[in-house]
Structure 1
Amino acid sequence: MNNDGKNASSTDYFILLGFSKWPHLEAVLFVVILIFYLVTLIGNLFVIILSYLDSRLHTPMYFFLSNLSFLDLCYTTSSIPQLLANLWGPEKTISYAGCMLQLYFVLALGSTECVLLVVMSYDRYVAVCRPLHYAVLMHPRFCLSLAVASWASGFTASALHSLFTFWVPLCGRRRVDHFFCEVPALLRLSCVDIHANELTLMVMSAIFVVIPLLLILTSYGTIARAVLRMKSTAGLQKVFGTCGAHLMVVSLFYIPVMCIYFQPKSGHSQDQGKFIALFYTVVTPSINPLIYTLRNKDVRGAVRKLIGWEWET
């Protein structure tokens, strides 16, 4: 940005303050985040490969799980390598173009995940509440359409929201009080009225956070009523195995996101928000594969088959 209030050119840059208030923590954070990032890469790639190789996992549930794993890979990669570079050395800058791309992909992938989690909850609803019609309702072509719609909605909404954010004049302010380029942190740099942007952020949060969460809760409310009527112990165990894993993933994603975008505006909450954001960008994507692998009998069986430990369980 230049001092006459015009927007920045592609030669400008931002300074990502990140965790510079706690320099003694940066080395520790680098090691911890690098470990989680590697676990995320290995775990999610493993789920994608396993779902592709094992024919027993060629079902809608694992098709959507593969999408989620690929999404988590992209989501962490959109911000974590930049964070690691900033933690490793004294330079904490990101180019204007880099910041634009990072904001776009973080918003796009985050929005896509919100929609995809709704799609996955619908899949579980059909499996539990309408099992006789499952093969018809969750036809492969329909599943592909749902996945494409999830990705398209997230990337389209992000394009509009990102452009609207970068149109705001910053009047030479470059110090972003976060470890990646995100909307609230960038809007704090503005030197003009941003009520329209704040309203847009609120609407986007409602569309991609609140409404999807309500739809997920509605699906699981219906599933809970169906479960209470079940008399088969084996059926109950299967429902809890698949639905329980998805509910844990939903909780690990939505709770931190809601804490970020619905927290009060204060200096303390901004510092706290960095660590909350660190949780859902680093920890949650690394835990998701473990949740599905450890809690799901089908995945455990596929793992045994893949490594040659095929036996009856």
Structure 2
Amino acid sequence: MNRRFLLTRRPHGTPVPEDFSLVEQPIPAVPAGGLVVRNHYCSLDPAQRGWMDDVPSYMPPIALGDPVRASTVGVVHASDNPQFQPGDWVMGLNGIEDYSACHPGAFTMKLDITQVPSPSLFLSAMGAVGLTGYFGLLDVAKPQPGEVLLVSGAAGAVGSAVGQIGKIVGCRTIGIAGGPEKCRRLIEDYGYDVAIDYKGKSVRELSAEIRRAAPGGVNIVFENVGGTVMDAEMLNLAKYARIVLCGLISEYNLTEKYGVRNLWPILTQQATLYGYLVLDYAPRFAEAGAVMAQWMAEGRLRIDEDIQEGLENAYAAFMRLFTGANTGKLVLKIA
């Protein structure tokens, strides 16, 4: 049988268990020209919360009654395609379920797991999360040595990668995170030059702390949080700053969106705000993944994973994203 984690109701605000159901159905048949994958790991990401809403987005909403969509890594169970044989490891965009029927394409690709300690790394360092940091910083923001890089959600999976890549290319890095433990990790684990705790601070107080860390202003903002954190950041832009808008996790569960209030400095500082999706870089994933693997082998890049186990724990594991409980890239181990 195939266990499937289905979206059965559109969440209103913070998702609750009643929005989902775990069902058992027959293992799907092999589609013509396609394959059936036994999923071993799936990625849990804030973006999945947006896909649950029936609103226009860069991807269609998850249909009610369908499994929650996720990046997965698994093994070919059966195939009707000569390019994929049973036993091959593959990565794809499938459902949170034991078995997924899929076709080869932009999101389904074969993996060589001999190059990594764990296949889960294709969902973290060498998957969309690590590569979000890689392309967003290097290709979109185009950092220069000596520039000041400010990252929100800096202890998260994307933010921790961005800060370390920034150090590799010669930036001064400032990370914003919630709580003393996460700020400790920013300095000790991810090499940030400055860690700022946003909790309990007003926009004015947080802005003043950023200004003390970067009195000449910030050249690059890598934005993962939005809300009042982003408002404080906007008050500290250097001239011609670049803002990479990667995520707005503070707003995903709000029924009334906060929005950004401090846009005026983008005009006065002649800054540029980029809306950024890593999907545009899918054809270059292998190229960047090789660089990330090399940096890890050299000890220049640390990628932490928070692996939760069991498909039956999918809801509880997913909610760790919004409580701040996860301590690295959140992955659900299914097999």
Q: Is this a same-fold pair by TM over 0.5?
A: no
Higher-strand-fraction structure = 2
TM bin, normalised by shorter chain, reads: under 0.3
Higher relative contact order (CA 8 A, sep 6+): 1
User: Normalising by the residue count of structure 1, what TM-score does the alignment of the two structures yield?
Assistant: 0.26
